[in-house]
Amino acid sequence: MIDNIKKILYAGLGIFALSEDKAKEIIQELIKQGEITAQEGEQLISDLKNKAWDRGKSFEEKIALKIKDYLKISELEERVKKLEDELSKIREKLS
């Protein structure tokens, strides 16, 4: 399960890196065409990074909550299994 979560997170990071590179390319093209100034381009890149960071933090918090929920369920499953085993032993002794 943890490996799957890692794969998902790494894929998300990869997509972010590709998106950032593509955004920079588009902004550079806008600067070349005179649509925006270099300073506006730098500000735009900075704004995009900040928004991406905020979204990443939000995503990270959601993933952490899901992992906690999964671990709670997993822990409960283990406790149920132990209780079932103990109940089976008690039944055997009573038989």
Domain range annotation of the chain: 2-94
pLDDT in tens, the chain (95 residues): 556 655 665 566 666 665 777 778 888 888 898 888 889 888 888 887 787 777 777 777 888 888 888 888 888 888 999 999 999 999 999 98
Whether the model pTM is above 0.85: no
Token pair listed for 2 = 């943890």
Give long-range contacts, CB 8 A cutoff, 24+ apart: 48-57: 48/20, 48/23, 49/20, 52/16, 52/19, 52/20, 56/16
Residue pair 48/70 in contact (Cβ under 8 Å)? The answer is no
* H-helix segments, the chain: 2-32, 38-94
